[in-house]
């Protein structure tokens, strides 16, 4: 097997190559003056199974998805046997059902497109809803980066922290972290208006007074969820507030708004390379690939 370094995840791909001992296939990429993407594999994949590492986070997620599809096609045309897509952040994963009539299911369209391009298997991390993967036209698996994020906080000396889930749906995340951090766990109630997108958060009966609290979510996008959680935690007397996520999209001034809300540190992964990507997913993907080799 060989690792193909997608243009959006070169460092992660290199780390996976190093940790697995699998050789790395560099990719030449450019964007034409009209905005279209070009990719070319810069080593042979003839007769090989390959894993393309390419995250599809904003900004420019549509172009990143096309790069992934073009790489799969290039690999197949160059004689690759099996093409595995390692996509830490899968764009459109949140449109995983028809919330309103007249909508489509964007994530399923994306998966069908990737299948048509030549992808045979799919690996991601903390996809928004695991049930999505059952609708994909190829074997698909999601791993969890939460233990790695919890270990990060343990190393910083925050064992025993209260782990707060910003909504009931993310409690599985909080519980995975609690297993490592060893403190209490709780969740906020969050409701969303499907037309305006506005959310309302409430938190009753949380025992966070004088506690260190880590708010954990799968995605931080605009930061509104974390800012709302931080406000509730402050009102309830939490001592220190931190937040962690797998996919730190941090759109616009989200990072500043979160820090201004009193959160002392934001921890994300290299699913979305940037300021807060302090935890690498390389060990997780490497371990999974080793099981497949
Ligand atoms: C939603 O259910 C997700 O788990 C996140 O809570 C949400 O995407 C965060 O978005 P934002 O940062 O814009 O509040």
pLDDT digits (tens, 9 = 90+) for 98-157: 999 999 999 999 999 999 999 999 999 999 999 999 999 999 999 999 999 999 999 999
Q: Kindly state the tokens that stand for 29.
A: 């990429």
Q: Which atom of ligand 1 is nearest to the CA of 218?
A: 4
Q: Is 3 a residue whose pLDDT tops 90? A: yes
- Helix (H) or strand (E) run with residue 8 in it: none
pTM: 0.94
Alpha carbons within 13 angstroms on the beta-carbon side of residue 205 total 4
pLDDT digits (tens, 9 = 90+) for 17-56: 999 999 999 999 999 999 999 999 999 999 999 999 999 9
Sheet holding 240-248, edge to edge: 185-187, 162-165, 212-220, 240-248, 263-269, 277-279
- Helix (H) or strand (E) run with residue 175 in it: helix 171-181
Q: Which atom of ligand 1 is nearest to the CA of 166?
A: 6
Distances in Å between the Cα of 197 and the Cα atoms of 190, 203, 232, 239 are: 12, 20, 20, 31
Q: Answer whether 166 contacts ligand 1 (Cβ < 6 A).
A: yes
Q: Answer whether 224 contacts ligand 1 (Cβ < 6 A).
A: yes
Q: What percent of the chain has pLDDT over 90?
A: 91
Report, as an integer, the average pLDDT of 189-199. Answer: 83
**Smallest CA separation from ligand 1 atom 1, residue:** 219
Q: Answer whether 219 contacts ligand 1 (Cβ < 6 A).
A: yes
**Smallest CA separation from ligand 1 atom 3, residue:** 219
Angle subtended at Cα 143 by Cα 202 and Cα 283, rounded to the nearest 5 degrees:
115
Instruction: Confirm if 235 and 258 have CB atoms less than 8 A apart.
Output: no
Q: Is 191 a residue whose pLDDT tops 90? A: no
Q: Is 223 a residue whose pLDDT tops 80? A: yes
Choose among 176, 165, 177: nearest CA to 206.
Answer: 165
d(CA 21, CA 3): 10
Torsion, Cα 201 207 212 217, to 10 degrees, reads: -40
Q: What radius of gyration do the chain's Cα atoms show?
A: 20
Distance of CA 37 to the CA centre of its chain: 23
Distances in Å between the Cα of 149 and the Cα atoms of 118, 177, 256 are: 33, 8, 21
Pairing of strands 83-86, 50-53: parallel
In angstroms, the first-to-last Cα distance of the chain is 7
Q: Hey, which residues are catalytic here? A: 190
pLDDT tier, 293 (very low <50, low <70, confident <90, very high otherwise): low
Q: Which atom of ligand 1 is nearest to the CA of 228?
A: 14
Q: Answer whether 238 contacts ligand 1 (Cβ < 6 A).
A: no
* Between 80 and 293, the higher pLDDT residue: 80
Q: What is the pLDDT of residue 291?
A: 83
d(CA 133, CA 123): 10
Q: Answer whether 5 contacts ligand 1 (Cβ < 6 A).
A: no
For the chain, the average pLDDT equals 96
Q: What is the pLDDT of residue 97?
A: 94
Q: Is 292 a residue whose pLDDT tops 80? A: no
d(CA 183, CA 178): 6
pLDDT tier, 205 (very low <50, low <70, confident <90, very high otherwise): confident
Q: Answer whether 218 contacts ligand 1 (Cβ < 6 A).
A: yes
Q: What percent of the chain has pLDDT over 70?
A: 100
CA 220 to ligand 1 center in whole angstroms: 5
């Amino acid at each position: 097997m060989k690792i193909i370094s997608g243009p959006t995840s070169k460092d992660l791909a290199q780390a996976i190559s190093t940790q697995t001992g699998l050789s790395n296939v560099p990719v030449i990429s450019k964007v034409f003056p009209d905005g279209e993407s070009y990719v070319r594999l810069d080593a042979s994949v003839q007769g090989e199974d390959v894993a393309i590492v390419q995250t599809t986070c904003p900004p420019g997620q549509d172009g990143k998805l096309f790069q992934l599809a073009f790489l799969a096609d290039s690999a197949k045309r160059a004689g690759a046997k099996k093409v595995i897509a390692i996509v830490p952040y899968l764009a459109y994963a949140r449109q995983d059902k028809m919330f309103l009539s007249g909508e489509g299911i964007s994530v399923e369209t994306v998966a069908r497109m990737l299948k048509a391009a030549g992808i045979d298997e799919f690996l991601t991390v903390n996809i928004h809803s695991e049930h999505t993967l059952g609708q994909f036209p190829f074997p698909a698996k999601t791993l969890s980066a939460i233990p790695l994020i919890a270990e990060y906080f343990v190393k910083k000396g925050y064992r025993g922290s209260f782990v707060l889930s910003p909504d009931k749906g993310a409690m599985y995340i909080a519980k995975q972290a609690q297993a490592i951090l060893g403190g209490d766990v709780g969740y906020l109630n969050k409701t969303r208006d499907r037309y305006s997108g506005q959310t309302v958060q409430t938190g009753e009966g949380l025992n966070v007074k004088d506690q260190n609290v880590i708010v954990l979510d799968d995605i931080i996008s605009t930061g509104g969820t974390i800012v709302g959680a931080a406000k509730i935690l402050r009102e309830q007397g939490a001592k220190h507030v931190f937040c962690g996520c797998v996919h730190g999209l941090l759109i616009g001034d989200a990072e500043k708004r979160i820090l201004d809300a009193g959160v002392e540190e934001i921890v994300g992964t290299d699913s979305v390379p940037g300021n807060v990507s302090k935890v690498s997913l390389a060990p997780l993907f490497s371990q999974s690939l080793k099981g497949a080799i």
